[in-house]
């Protein structure tokens, strides 16, 4: 056994994972280069070596959950490359207007067919609300209804939807609450399909950066977009929300949240899935909204993202043959790793999902939230 294998197996064993073991979370190594890739590149090496087929696991979500549960990521030394990258993020803004377009091209524009087969019927690409249901469509409608109730929508209101995706919120709010929405996206594919899905409804789509938003709205919502803003821009983002919200309005931010304050994201996610993304912390959000908003409600249901991601994974696996001609084997392995590793992170409560309700001056008499 060489030194790299000794180090990696030692770390895996600490988490109760064994190379060649019989547990569903154990791994089979198909190429000895796997061990060097982990020692050299850590988490990035784990994902890349899976994409190359160097290792497999019957239940990869369980395997990565055990890595989180054993806190193995904190026991892997940061190499010089990682330390230099962290330092670079402190002096560089990776989420400028031009750089922000990259995630649209690299992630959201890779194919509406893929997303339509993987997501629910309304094409929500964010965490569902699995209260008293085991059905993805119901969980996503529950989420949309909870958001509408938290925003206290009334007929005739105009809602700004920052990061609107394919218009799931706008369509639901128009149908169920008789409001009109203006949705902002940086994805051409999302805008094109969204306009088709919301045809004949008062749902407008605009292809633009949030920094170019003009106008004042009765309500502002942002579902799964703050993860693309970057810590250097949080104040600017919330300034945009504030400027766009009427004085008596309500804003709701639905975002993945981190237990720790960082200036980077997962190296693998940054390289292959969400370029220039990062997950905000309570401290970072708090600093950004201080003196601008009253925080009326902060709701955490991150454990539901595990169920959501596993549902997406099951749909992705079930429909893989329908998109087989559109992507290569490396892409399918990449997508498997993305969905399952993220499910594990939420299962281990390493990541959270927050819905934050904000007002400019506070609601006299108090805000009654929904659960």
Express each pLDDT in 246-291 by its tens digit. 999 999 999 999 999 988 788 899 999 998 889 999 999 999 999 9
Residues across the chain: 371
Which strands form 203-207's sheet, in the order they lie side by side?
203-207, 180-185, 158-162, 217-223, 245-258, 351-359, 294-300
Give me the pLDDT at residue 263, please.
Answer: 83
pLDDT value at residue 73: 76
Q: In terms of Cα–Cα distance, which of 212, 127, 219, 217 is closest to 165?
A: 127
Rounded to the nearest integer, the mean pLDDT of the chain is 92
Strand 203-207 with 180-185, pairing: parallel
**pTM score above 0.75:** yes
pLDDT at 88 > cutoff 50 = no
Q: What is the pLDDT of residues 180-190, one digit of tens each?
A: 999 999 999 99
Residue 76 has pLDDT above 90, yes or no: no
Predicted confidence at residue 101, as pLDDT, reads 57
Say what percent of the chain tops pLDDT 70.
92
Instruction: Quote the pLDDT of residue 86.
Output: 45
Residue 82 has pLDDT above 50, yes or no: no
- In this prediction, residue 87 carries a pLDDT of 46
Give the DSSP letter of residue 103.
H
Residue-level pLDDT at 93: 60
pLDDT in tens, 112-150: 999 999 999 999 999 999 999 999 999 999 999 999 999
Q: Report pLDDT for 29.
A: 98
CA 125/CA 261 separation, integer angstroms: 25
Contact 120, 128 (CB under 8 A): yes
Mean pLDDT (whole number) for 19-33: 97
């Amino acid at each position: 056994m060489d030194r790299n294998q000794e180090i990696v197996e030692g770390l895996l064993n600490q988490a109760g994972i064994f190379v060649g073991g019989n547990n569903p979370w154990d791994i089979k190594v198909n190429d000895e280069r796997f061990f060097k890739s982990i020692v050299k590149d850590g988490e990035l090496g784990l994902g890349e070596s899976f994409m190359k087929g160097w290792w497999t696991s019957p239940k990869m979500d369980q395997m990565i959950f055990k890595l989180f549960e054993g806190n193995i990521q904190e026991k892997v030394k940061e190499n010089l490359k990682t330390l230099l990258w962290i330092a670079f993020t402190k002096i560089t803004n990776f989420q400028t207007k031009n750089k922000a377009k990259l995630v649209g091209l690299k992630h959201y524009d890779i194919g509406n067919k893929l997303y339509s087969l993987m997501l629910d019927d309304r094409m929500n690409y964010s965490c569902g609300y699995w209260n008293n249901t085991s059905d993805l469509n119901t969980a996503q409608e529950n989420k949309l209804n909870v958001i509408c109730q938290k925003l206290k929508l009334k007929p005739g209101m105009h809602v700004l939807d920052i990061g609107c995706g394919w218009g799931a919120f706008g369509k639901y709010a128009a149908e169920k609450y008789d409001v009109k929405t203006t949705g902002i996206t940086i994805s051409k594919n999302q805008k094109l399909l969204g306009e088709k899905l919301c045809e004949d409804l008062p749902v407008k789509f605009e292809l633009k950066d949030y920094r170019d938003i003009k106008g004042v709205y009765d309500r502002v919502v942002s579902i799964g977009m703050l993860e693309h803003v970057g810590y250097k821009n949080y104040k600017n983002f919330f300034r945009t929300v504030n400027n766009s919200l009427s004085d008596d309005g309500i804003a709701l931010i639905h975002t993945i949240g981190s237990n720790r304050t960082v200036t980077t994201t997962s190296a693998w996610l940054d390289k292959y899935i969400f370029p220039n993304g990062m997950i905000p912390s309570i401290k970072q959000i708090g600093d950004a909204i201080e003196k601008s908003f009253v925080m009326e409600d902060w709701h955490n249901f991150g454990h539901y993202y595990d169920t959501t991601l596993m549902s997406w994974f099951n749909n992705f696996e079930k429909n893989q043959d329908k998109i087989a001609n559109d992507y290569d084997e490396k892409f399918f392995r990449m997508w498997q790793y993305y969905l399952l590793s993220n499910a594990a992170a939420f299962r281990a409560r390493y990541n959270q999902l927050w819905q934050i309700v904000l007002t400019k001056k506070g609601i006299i008499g108090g805000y009654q939230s929904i659960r």
